[in-house]
Chains A and B, each alone.
Chain A
Amino acid sequence: MFQAIPGDSIDEPARHPTPDISLTNTVEQARAGDSTAFSALFQQYNSQVCAYLARLVGNDEIGRDLAQETFIRAWKSLPEIRSDQHFKPWLFRIATNAARSHLRHTHLIRWLPWQDADAASTNSNLTLEGPEDQAGETECVQQAMASLSPQCRTCLLLQLVAGFSQREIAEALGISEKSVSAYVSRGREQFRTAYRRVKGAE
């Protein structure tokens, strides 16, 4: 009677066309309470927000749960967005905080449901045939990502998955560009080192 939750989905993320009206106008309409405009914003950012959150918490299902909350919270707080604020950093700020809020909120939530990179050498999942095995590669990348500090991971993913510049990351997180630069730089170094370690241990 229990519905099994499927593992890695093979579905390609839907590609959504850019709305024919400008983003600024759409945000303005959504801000005024136009649900159609908000739906268009949802269509545009759904994939990126889900991917960002799933990578951030290391779990696709939880990423989607948090994406749901992100869009609910975005709709609720949209009337408060200021005209000089950019929508996308603002949305990813809500997404980041949805993730952090979950982590802080209860003892149930762990930051990382991934396996530890140090434990990789003893894990049977990683003793796969052939070094180019896709599952093995995915595990290695995930484990390397899991070993980053939350701040570094957040900044690196905002850069790679959301396609933000360091200025936009700074806007999304409310910290200085200098800090973002340090986090991104550290994150890249940590990721490179961790990936090589995990790969070497395979």
Chain B
Amino acid sequence: MKHNNTVPTPSVPCAQWAKKLAAAHPGDLSSTERAALDKHIQTCPACASVQAEYREMDARILALPPVTPLTGLPASLQYIFPEQPGDEQQHTGKGSAAPIAFPTTMQSTPLMPVSAMSPKRLMRLVSAIAAVLVVGALIAGFLILFTVHHTTLVGGNAPSDANSVIFVASEDDGTVYAVRPSDGALYWQHTIGHKLTGAPVASQDAVFAGSYDGHIYALRRSDGSLTWSSPAIPGSAVQPNFADITAIYVSATSGIYALSALDGKILWSRSIHGCNTTCGASFVAVTDGTAYAYLDGLYALRTSDGKVLWHHPEFQFTTRSFVATDGKVYIPVDRDGNVYVLRASDGQSIHTLTYQKDEPIELVAANGIIYIDSAGHDVYALRTSDDSTLWHKQFNDILLGMSSANDGTLYFSETIVVADSIQVPGQTPTPNTSPPSVDVYALRTSDGTQRWHWHPSTATGGSTDVLAIKGTAYLTVGNSLYALRTSDGTQRWVLSESTTLTSPVSG
């Protein structure tokens, strides 16, 4: 039954008291401030009403259905920990767990102990290390000389060849940049003027960005000029997910939308129905005329008209990566520890790959191989033709953030304790913040051995996924876009802007 209530106009608090009214924690106001506020409330019905409403709203937020906590420590930690409190039966007859040292580097062949080496060998080793250091210093000097530290605008038309331009955007000021892969110089930059919801997506003709104003903006690939802006899309978090030559696939909190790449008009859409808190709207893959999307479950939709090809309500929206390749789709479900393999054409189950339960499962695919990271400890490479295992490698460390497998290299990009969590334009973070730790690991796709490890000395924010194209790996760390050689991880150039940049994309 609908109620035709008229919405009462909320009381407006006095401007000078507004912030104090919102201070809910006892420690937020001094006793003097608290007393002054109480005194004001007694004489100001508007502020008294606002305060009462804030308290009511707090109670409503706190009365939301409780969230079930984790049943135990993540299994990857249990794997490291000998035991944990709460497992009383396991504790019998044993004292407390001995302190353990967490390994901080990847597993590698141990060096021969120094004491076992002859003096000659030791000298050779020291000489070799010294030589490596000298060469390293020379290379570093060379790289510094040839590194772009500031934006260089070269102008001219950006080429339309596939993967010939890297696009990146600044969410805060709504600027999209077209970057030349060879040196990090800019073909163009275009300020849309609205805060963006995330990274842009690119096609052969255009680059598309979603804005908090509910519109998608299309910029011409060659020169960045605005081609069209879409009609307002209902819902918030309006974000382009994929683009091809005919359409752009957009998700929002209200549902999913396919827009014409030509003029931004909505070609078809599907909204969320019967959603509880486990739903989410997002395209997760677009390939071979099929778009895969999460709504109330997983849908396979025909890209031309949005017709439902198949639907699995069992598979709910997940933060994990989704792979559609070689006529199959691979769906990781952390809580089951399974990767479900379905036939792309009809959604029928082919088989299920089983890994560790209640652990993050990450997938990436490239060149007929799917890479599966279970719990950050075990990485598997499977041939997608028959899902047979090519290799399996275990790591002592936890490697999360598997993002790309190109050029014979498998990338992990991880950040711990990011410093730019909430950036306020023009404001310096308070000095007592921990510096973020950004690490990129590159493994050989042939056997999983480490090719190189990159750790920027000055990181100013979180890192994004790695985009690997034609011998270069691109990733964003805070305000900077880095280009690294995929062969050895040396830095080719870095492009720095004044605000946080999105993930790099190409098209």
Contacts and interface: CB of A to CB of B under 8 A. Distances in A.
Interface of A: 1-5, 7-9, 11-14, 29, 32-36, 38-40, 42-43, 46-47, 50-51, 54-55, 58-69, 71-73, 75-77, 79-82, 84-85, 90, 93-94, 96-97, 100-116, 118-119, 124-125, 127-131, 137-138, 141-142, 145-147, 151, 154, 156, 159-161, 163-167, 170-176, 179, 181-185, 187-189, 191-193, 195-197, 199-202
Counting chain B CB atoms within 10 Å of each CB, the highest count among A2, A107, A161 belongs to A107
B82 interface: yes
A63 B335 CA distance: 13
Chain A CB count within 10 A is highest, among B27, B60, B239, B340, for B60
Contacts of A34: 97, 99
Contacts of A13: 66-69
B184 interface: no
B100 A33 contact: yes
Nearest to A186: B22
A125 B74 CA distance: 35
B174 interface: no
Interface stretch (B137-145, B150-158, B185-193, B352-360): B352-360
Given A72-B398, A72-B400, A119 B69 contact: no
20 contacts: A9-B65, A9-B68, A29-B99, A35-B99, A38-B77, A64-B67, A65-B318, A72-B74, A72-B76, A72-B376, A94-B416, A104-B503, A108-B284, A113-B253, A142-B64, A163-B25, A165-B28, A184-B23, A189-B22, A191-B57
Contacts of B417: 73, 77, 80, 90, 93-94, 97
The 7 closest A-B pairs by CB, nearest first: A113-B280, A200-B7, A116-B235, A35-B81, A174-B433, A165-B27, A185-B22
Q: Is the interface of B mostly helix, strand, loop or mixed?
A: loop
B462 interface: yes
B434 A175 contact: no
Nearest to B239: A110
Interface in B224-238: 234-237
A197 B349 CA distance: 44
Interface in B1-34: 1-3, 5-8, 10, 18-19, 21-28
A187 B433 CA distance: 24
Most buried by A among B24, B76, B282, B319: B319
Nearest to B252: A116
B462 A11 contact: no
B374 interface: no
B235 A166 contact: no
A113 B54 CA distance: 25
A60 B434 contact: no
A147 B258 CA distance: 23
Interface string B372-411: 0000100000000000000000000010110100000000
B260 interface: no
Interface residues of B, number: 128
A75 B236 contact: no
Interface of B: 1-3, 5-8, 10, 18-19, 21-28, 50, 53-54, 57-58, 60-70, 73-74, 76-77, 80-86, 96-97, 99-102, 197-199, 201, 234-237, 239, 241-242, 251-254, 271-284, 312-322, 333-336, 340, 349, 352, 358-360, 376, 398, 400-401, 403, 415-424, 427, 429-430, 432-434, 437, 462, 464-465, 502-503
Given A72-B398, A119-B235, A7 B278 contact: yes
Given A65-B334, A119-B234, A166-B23, A125 B275 contact: yes
A8 to B, nearest CB: 5
A105 B429 CA distance: 22
Contact of B401 (A77, A105, A141, A192): A105
A7 B276 contact: yes
B280 A5 contact: no
Given A68-B360, A166-B23, A196 B8 contact: yes
Given A33-B99, A82-B434, A188 B3 contact: no
Nearest to A58: B277
Contacts of B57: 188, 191-192, 195
Contacts of B80: 35
Given A146-B236, A179-B427, A202 B64 contact: no
Nearest to B317: A113
Contacts of A130: 1
B7 to A, nearest CB: 3
Nearest to B285: A108
A178 B245 CA distance: 47
A46 to B, nearest CB: 4
A156 B58 CA distance: 10
A34 to B, nearest CB: 5
Given A146-B236, A189-B22, 20 more contacts: A2-B349, A14-B69, A35-B99, A60-B278, A68-B334, A101-B462, A104-B464, A107-B198, A107-B199, A108-B241, A110-B281, A113-B277, A115-B235, A142-B64, A142-B277, A156-B61, A175-B430, A192-B53, A200-B5, A200-B8
A68 B359 contact: yes
A171 B360 CA distance: 29
A112 B253 contact: yes
Contacts of A137: 60, 63
B237 A97 contact: no
B283 to A, nearest CB: 8
Nearest to B24: A159
Nearest to B75: A68
Nearest to B65: A8
B69 A174 contact: no
B85 A39 contact: yes
B432 A64 contact: no
A127 B23 contact: no
